Structure 1
């Protein structure tokens, strides 16, 4: 009986391989490779993108990601501590903030900070349209990071706080010198994931508007695609995104395995 199950399993796997190979072969046969190469992998169009796709678009994408990540992290720590506070008003405000910006689409938040806030409140955001767009991205990032940080703080054993308090440390010193460092060690993988998500979300900044020197990868590739009537710039942008995000996601997986072994 066991032999029959093993035979059926091997037969099933072989069938799946045959089906997959058949689908790949069928797609390869019906694809117009010459047209595909001309529209998506034109070397001449790709060469025209350099060096600006690196020194302007990719640089801006990484820079905007870092700004949004740091801003979101600072606000995230504040709102995580507020949500864990014994003061009811603080908890309510933090909960409302987190639920609001986690519930709204990031594109809508960026649109609001770029247009609705300046027009409705008469407030000029530093940095122009890109600065306003980044503010929206920071608000969204802060809501997600606040929940990640809160989870990290609550994952620290309560005995750590009790030991610090028994040594005469104040609640604030206990939080910032004992609890937060240990919490951050736990949440490094999810925070790295947030960084990767922010890197991709910078593509939403197009709605705020940009100048020639403030374009991120997606806006740069979209404009180049329109100008050349060719999709090669989009492929180039996708490759650059992957060159940045794949090492980061692999690092997250490595960190998770390392932390699992340490436990």
Structure 2
């Protein structure tokens, strides 16, 4: 038992790594995850529009993208993007691994976000689109102004859940060998663990991830509950109105 606590709960080790984790590590984790989330949301909306297209030539490439990036393990995608692209001479970010890290997590996030947005848009009543078109709006304008905003509201809990996954998957970019000043939470902890053969640094990293994800998880659950209650309220009002008229 003493060895167990020494390996996982060595407080000098935890206190020694915490300053770096809470400054450099936390900052870069939030930077990578935040930029990946922005990329994923924007690309996901575009992909969702393609998935809903009636044209097969537009729909199939989007479906292929979503199926591939949802089917590949995240660690494979990170390796292919962050290691494979530079090795093949494709270097949109030069030799800076941080850009490839954001791109890899963003590509994965976009695939999952696309399916989330697609389901949300399809949940919007078809009459909304027809009504907007009858007012003279083009298809794209009606989707942008009327349908997509309602679809996004439908999937806010699921979308927030995807953001939590993006934060956790940012730990995989340690494979790309981030430089000093670019290291995220797990990279710092893994370096310390490799140097000391003590896993307390990884426990410290785990606690930091929990501090990020657990409050977000409860916030997502609360948001989901509020939205469900909000959907039931109009139904109850309609029923009451029917009784009153009857």
- Tell me if both proteins adopt one fold, taking TM over 0.5 as the criterion: yes
Aligned equivalents of 1:50, 1:100: Cα separation in 2: 37
Q: Which residue of 1 aligns with 2:27?
A: 59
Pairwise mapping of residues 82-101 of structure 1 onto structure 2 (< 5 A)? 82-101=50-69
The answer as to 2:168 corresponding to 1:186 is no
Deviation of 1:196 after TM superposition, in Å, equals 0.6
Pairwise mapping of residues 125-164 of structure 1 onto structure 2 (< 5 A)? 125-126=92-93, 128-164=96-132
Partner SS for 2:182: coil
The answer as to 2:135 corresponding to 1:198 is no
TM-score by length of 1: 0.84
Deviation of 1:228 after TM superposition, in Å, equals 2.6
Deviation of 1:95 after TM superposition, in Å, equals 0.7
Q: Which residue of 2 aligns with 1:23?
A: none
Alpha-carbon contact 2:18-2:204 (below 8 Å) kept: no
TM-score by length of 2: 0.89
Partner SS for 1:169: coil
The answer as to 2:134 corresponding to 1:166 is yes
Segments ≥4 residues shifted beyond 4 Å: none
CA RMSD of aligned residues (A): 1.3
Pairwise mapping of residues 1-263 of structure 1 onto structure 2 (< 5 A)? 32=1, 34-120=2-88, 122-126=89-93, 128-263=96-231
Deviation of 1:133 after TM superposition, in Å, equals 2.5
Deviation of 1:181 after TM superposition, in Å, equals 0.7
Deviation of 1:168 after TM superposition, in Å, equals 1.5
Kindly tell me the number of residue pairs found equivalent between the two proteins. 230
List gaps (5 residues or longer) in structure 1: 1-31
Aligned equivalents of 2:58, 2:177: Cα separation in 1: 35
Aligned equivalents of 2:187, 2:33: Cα separation in 1: 15
Alpha-carbon contact 1:45-1:228 (below 8 Å) kept: no
Task: Spell out, residue by residue over 1:125-181, the C-alpha distance to the aligned partner (whole angstroms, 9 max, x if none).
Answer: 316122113212111111111010000100111111122112211111110011111
Alpha-carbon contact 1:56-1:216 (below 8 Å) kept: yes
Alpha-carbon contact 1:110-1:134 (below 8 Å) kept: no
Aligned equivalents of 2:86, 2:7: Cα separation in 1: 41
List gaps (5 residues or longer) in structure 2: 232-246
**Structure (1 or 2) with the larger CA radius of gyration:** 1
